[in-house]
């Protein structure tokens, strides 16, 4: 029997466990994790949870892909309603469309596809990068109190939170004083406490975690960071493909690159490996990245007007 999760982990699981209002209608609560608006990974995880709850044909159909668009910034002080359209249940695949609504407006929508397990066929994968093991990487040190006191409230809230996931950066970067670097990074991550075995839960947890680290990689060549008050960032879209079974409470390596940034948009791609080198998921995301002259305007104006 798995140990009981720590409160911060159980809070995340509760966040992903939606209230069912009708057959295809769900309500999810929001959680302030230090970001100005609802964290995109929360909406991804909740939308996938809603879609999974409507795949009831049996046969063990699991999500294999999710394609999403973020339309409006979410309000952390209010719940989000998820409306699921049962688009298709075919012989091999099921497709669901999910619309997230808040204050009467659509803030997000996605399509998710599900497939049952099939007999072994052609398989291949790219190799995992050669990196140190997570046990050999020291956790990031806490920001000194005297430095924390000089930071904007938004950044203080983000840095002082205790999140449900642990992160170990293979090549750490000082986000408060970011140097210019090539657009690549590798990050080990895992849920901080063991949880149950349900694969649907681990899929939703990975959807949540996949929004961390990704877009920030597009900042590396430019020496900027989300922590800087004049930098405005927001996810525009997000794609996630599930390849093989995994556990979100065991170490996973997120290997990320950013092939392009242009017109105030950055593109980032990620591959997620188990510690023994199995490629279990792939991601892609484009996001808004603006450097504005007035830091006050960056703090007050939503990234998606």
- Give the catalytic positions in this structure: 211, 235, 285
The token pair at 266 is 């950055």
CA separation (Å) from 26 to 49, 50, 55, 123, 304? 10, 7, 14, 37, 25
CA–CA separation, 87 and 26 (whole Å) = 17
Chain length of the chain: 305
User: In 3-state terms, what secondary structure has residue 11?
Assistant: helix
Q: Which residues does residue 294 pair with via DSSP β-bridges, in sequence order?
A: none
Contact between 189 and 167 under an 8 Å Cβ cutoff? The reply is yes
The token pair at 150 is 């000089």
* Phi and psi at residue 208, to the nearest 5°: -60, -50
DSSP 53-108: TT--S-TT-EEEEEEEEE-SPPPTTS-EEEEEEEEEE-SSEEEEEEEEEETTEEEE
> Helices 199-209 and 40-52: crossing angle, nearest 10°?
160
Q: Compute, in degrees rounded to 10, the torsion defined by CA atoms 212, 217, 222, 224.
A: 10
């Amino acid at each position: 029997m798995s140990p009981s999760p720590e409160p911060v982990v159980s809070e995340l699981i509760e966040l992903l466990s939606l209230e069912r209002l009708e057959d295809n209608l769900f309500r999810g609560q929001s959680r302030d994790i230090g970001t100005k608006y609802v964290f995109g990974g929360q909406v991804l995880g909740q939308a996938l949870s809603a879609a999974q709850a409507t795949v009831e044909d049996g046969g063990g159909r699991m999500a294999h892909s999710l394609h999403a668009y973020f339309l409006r910034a979410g309000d952390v002080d209010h719940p989000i309603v998820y409306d699921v359209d049962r688009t298709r249940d075919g012989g091999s695949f099921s497709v669901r469309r999910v619309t997230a609504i808040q204050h009467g407006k659509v803030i997000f929508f996605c399509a998710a596809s599900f497939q049952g397990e099939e007999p072994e066929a052609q398989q291949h994968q790219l190799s995992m990068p050669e990196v140190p093991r997570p046990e050999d990487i020291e956790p990031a040190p806490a920001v000194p109190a005297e430095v924390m006191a000089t930071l904007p409230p938004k950044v203080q809230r983000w840095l002082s939170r205790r999140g449900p996931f642990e992160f170990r950066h293979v090549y750490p970067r000082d986000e408060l004083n970011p140097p210019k670097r090539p657009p690549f990074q590798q990050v080990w991550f895992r849920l901080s406490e063991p949880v149950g075995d349900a694969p649907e839960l681990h899929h939703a947890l990975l959807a949540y975690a996949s929004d961390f680290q990704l877009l920030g990689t597009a900042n590396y060549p430019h020496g900027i960071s989300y922590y800087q008050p004049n930098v405005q960032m927001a996810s525009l879209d997000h794609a996630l493909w599930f390849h093989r079974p995994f556990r979100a409470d065991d170490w996973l390596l997120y290997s990320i690159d950013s092939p392009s940034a242009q017109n105030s948009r950055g593109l980032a791609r990620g591959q997620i490996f188990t510690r023994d080198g199995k490629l279990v998921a792939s991601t892609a995301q484009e996001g808004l990245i603006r450097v504005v002259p007035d830091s006050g305007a960056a703090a007050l104006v939503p990234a998606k007007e």
